[in-house]
Structure 1
Amino acid sequence: MALHILFTWLALFLPPLLLLLRRRLLSVKSFTNKRKNLPPGPPPLPIIGNLHQLGHLPHQSLWKLSRQYGPVMLIHLGGIPTVVVSSPAAAREVLKTHDLDCCSRPRLLGPGRLTYDHRDIAFTEYSNYWRELRKLCVLKLLSTKQVQSFRYVREEEVGSMIESIAKSAESGTPVNMREKFMALTVSITCRVAFGKAFQGTEFDDGRLEDVIRETLVMLGSFSASDFFPRFGWIVDKFTGLHSKLEKSFRNLEVFYQKVIKEHRNVNKSNKEEEDIVDLLLKMERDQTELAAVRLNEDNIKAILMDILIAGVDTVALVMDWTMAELARNPRAMQKAREEIRSYAGNKKWVVEDDLHGLKYLKLVLKEAMRLHPPGGLLVPRETMGHFKLFGYEIDPKTRVEVNVWGIGRDPELWEDPEEFVPERFEDSPIDYKGNHFELLPFGAGRRGCPGMSMGMAVVELALANVLHSFDWELPKGMTEGDVSMEEGAGLNVFQKVPLILLPVKPSYKTVA
């Protein structure tokens, strides 16, 4: 009887009490916001904050909210205060002016975690270790000289891809473009990093591409622990996300262990034969080169994880989205194709020496990455100190998201922002290398992508050859307007409907 009375009283008075408490909290929050001058943003709900407003495609949802609340917006993702930046001026403040205050990474357990627990070097909370490792990667592994040294790998693998497409052209078989580009980037990355292409061989005990795809799916899944650090692990354990993620990481760890063991047993006297694993093992032996960082085998595995997972998918997506836009815009396709064929002449394939003369292709790539940056949001940062952003107070331990997708479609920056117009970059100084904050597919500042040069070398060479060697037609019954540009959400933004095109050999030349 007593319990019945208790439940009755709770049913009558608990909802009003909760409502009163919520109003009180909002009142306190409003007073605090006015006192501290926090950025504006949509009012959060108890516990979940603004998670309900993210939607299936967070970069699009946040862009719509920023149109209402401004280019510096405060939201709460569960228990995590998050500042969303969506203008070039605000991005410059975060990525350049206050780069040192914003260059830490949150310890994400789901999306964005590229390495595993105790081996997590890419998102180290303090910047000294990361700074030394980034210097190592840029100066030793991904320098211009190092990128050029792997030129023969890119040209050989692109040639192999063209030959496989030629077989489809002969048989009249349509091609899934993303599958072709993904296979290419996996092959190039494995040869550059590990010395050989392992996918589909007995060495990796299965298809490496399948493991990579599975890992990318897991990394792009919702993790409650990222937004509710204290109790989200219960949800993740119930859904099995962490166990699946760890299984993927362990599969890759076994692969890396085999690679490292094989490299330790082979002494390469010719420096030209050295791959990234060889360079890392040399650095491990010669610790004097690393100053504050003492490299060990776990660090090597983590670096290899970042190279494989972070690099393979993004490069393939840039090529896939570019071909989709060209398929929808035959005029741009023809213009790019004519430039390439005119410049390369009767060569069997385009080589890297030809790329500097392909001006229109570079415009096409800029425009494609404006509309379709591989990640709609840059990998999140976390503030390490207090600073002001456009007069707003930004506290330590605040997550920072830069919406590069929104910046690329801002009508105040771009005329007809939804249209694919490569010519808009003619006579424009804007590039994608982190110097111009209107176009940030690779980020900028201390956390800018160190693999940009390597990735774009693959993109330019592959697309130049794809357009040089074949004419491309839509499957029978399709028109340009039928090419779907619907986005799918994951670790990166991909085409939800795969792009299928039919390669046709040009009548004036023979394609090998």
Structure 2
Amino acid sequence: MSLQLGSLFTVVVSSETTAKEVLKQQDLVFCNRTVPDALRACQFIDFGLSFMPVSPLWRTLRKVCVIHLFSNLKLDANQYLRREKIQELIGNVRKSCLKGEAINIGQAAFDATINLLSNSIFSMDLVDPNSFHATINHEAWVPNLADYIPLLRKFDPQGLRRRMTVYFEKQLVLFGNMFDERLESRKSKGSTASNDVLDTLIDIVEDGSQVLVNAWAIGRDPSIWENPDDFMPERFLGSKIDVKGTDFGLIPFGGGRRICPGLPLANRMLHLILGSLVNYFDWKLGDGISSNNTNMEEKSGLTVKMAKPLLAIPVVV
């Protein structure tokens, strides 16, 4: 399917066969991403791994991620961190359980994962990890006229890039302070290296159309999936299909050279968080909510999530 969005010609890929063509056979041609104008603030696209074009710098940064953050060796070495963050998560849920409060499951799991990543990178929890995330997530993906009519970019008619500049500058100050503190600590006699990603980074020497792969549509393609709109986890029993980017009917992490480098971590954290919450607590839905009337409407952001978060009440087992 092709769309003319303002002056931007857009091709939407909604079949497994075409997705394989884009993500595997023509990967090099299509691997660079169209960047929302809001993310051009503070040169984010020049240094942000997710959106910067494939280049020697991109390869270096991705290599750092794969080797020092998401490799099996590093993930196995950081197993104690995952245990620690899960225990903190369970402790927070237990407090809500004793008060009879409902839990935003998605936010709780997100906070645990963010703190795991921040400890892997900076050896510390991020203070108030959600302070900028929700705002940046919203602003980055608000429909923006400048994305579809490039002539408007210099005017920033909706003020999105201006606001994103403020948010990014706050984050840069936060990360810059962490960087400076680490440099100072390394100068101290008797200091020991943290051997986290920040130490690794310190030691490192210094055509106009877009193609969108519609993973949502591919995952609901009746030619690939039987009863695609039904919740049937048993469909994967005995199936050889996986999510590693080689089966193009199921690509939650993308595919090709831009496949999400955090896939190995997600593989571990998803089962660990879900298993721990199910093991430690029974769960019930809040008042007026049942499995039959749960609102499954979606909201777009950096990822698609529930428009109204799932709130569940933990019960001590």
- Same fold, TM exceeding 0.5? yes
Count of matched residue positions in the alignment of Structure 1 and Structure 2: 314
The answer as to whether partners of 1:178 and 1:498 remain within 8 angstroms in 2 is yes
1:471 aligns with 2:282: yes
The answer as to whether partners of 2:14 and 2:218 remain within 8 angstroms in 1 is yes
Identify the residue that residue 493 of structure 1 maps to in structure 2: 304
Change (3 A) 1:102 1:477: closer
1:141 aligns with 2:141: no
Instruction: After the TM superposition, list the runs of 4 or more consecutive aligned residues in structure 1 that deviate by more than 4 angstroms.
Output: 111-115, 268-271
One-letter code aligned to 1:246? T
2:203 to 268, 272, 282: 282
Equivalent-residue separation in structure 1 for 2:42 and 2:269 (angstroms): 22
Equivalent-residue separation in structure 1 for 2:274 and 2:54 (angstroms): 39
Identify the residue that residue 333 of structure 1 maps to in structure 2: none
**Correspondence 1:368-407 to 2 at 5 A:** 396-407=207-218
DSSP 3-state at the match of 1:429: coil
One-letter code aligned to 1:141? L
- Superposition RMSD in Å: 2.2
Shift of 1:135: 2.6
Identify the residue that residue 351 of structure 1 maps to in structure 2: none
The answer as to whether partners of 2:10 and 2:210 remain within 8 angstroms in 1 is yes
Q: After superposition, what is the alpha-carbon deviation per residue over 1:4-40, rounded to whole angstroms, capped at 9, x for unaligned?
A: xxxxxxxxxxxxxxxxxxxxxxxxxxxxxxxxxxxxx
Equivalent-residue separation in structure 2 for 1:112 and 1:487 (angstroms): 26
Change (3 A) 1:460 1:74: same
DSSP 3-state at the match of 1:209: coil
One-letter code aligned to 2:268? A
Identify the residue that residue 97 of structure 1 maps to in structure 2: 25
Shift of 1:125: 4.0
Q: After superposition, what is the alpha-carbon deviation per residue over 1:352-403, rounded to whole angstroms, capped at 9, x for unaligned?
A: xxxxxxxxxxxxxxxxxxxxxxxxxxxxxxxxxxxxxxxxxxxx43211000
The answer as to whether partners of 1:111 and 1:491 remain within 8 angstroms in 2 is no
**Correspondence 1:88-237 to 2 at 5 A:** 88-110=16-38, 116=44, 118-120=46-48, 122-125=50-53, 127-199=55-127, 207-234=128-155, 236=156
Q: After superposition, what is the alpha-carbon deviation per residue over 1:411-436, rounded to whole angstroms, capped at 9, x for unaligned?
A: 11111111111100011010111111
Equivalent-residue separation in structure 2 for 1:430 and 1:400 (angstroms): 25
**Correspondence 1:421-440 to 2 at 5 A:** 421-440=232-251
Shift of 1:179: 2.8
2:183 to 264, 277, 284: 264
DSSP 3-state at the match of 1:95: helix
Change (3 A) 1:117 1:179: closer
* TM-score normalised over the length of structure 2: 0.91
1:251 aligns with 2:173: no
Shift of 1:253: 0.3
One-letter code aligned to 1:239? Q
% identical aligned pairs: 32
* TM-score normalised over the length of structure 1: 0.58
Shift of 1:264: 1.0
Larger radius of gyration: 1
Q: Which moved more, 1:149-158 or 1:139-148?
A: 139-148
Q: Which runs of 5+ in 1 are unaligned?
A: 1-72, 200-206, 288-294, 296-395, 507-512
Equivalent-residue separation in structure 1 for 2:58 and 2:281 (angstroms): 44
One-letter code aligned to 1:282? D
Equivalent-residue separation in structure 2 for 1:279 and 1:474 (angstroms): 44
Question: 1 or 2, which has the higher helix percentage?
Answer: 1
DSSP 3-state at the match of 2:131: helix
Shift of 1:221: 1.3
Q: Which runs of 5+ in 2 are unaligned?
A: none
Q: Which has the higher contact order (CA 8 A, sep 6+)?
A: 2
Identify the residue that residue 10 of structure 2 maps to in structure 1: 82
Shift of 1:112: 9.3
Shift of 1:478: 2.9
Change (3 A) 1:227 1:409: same
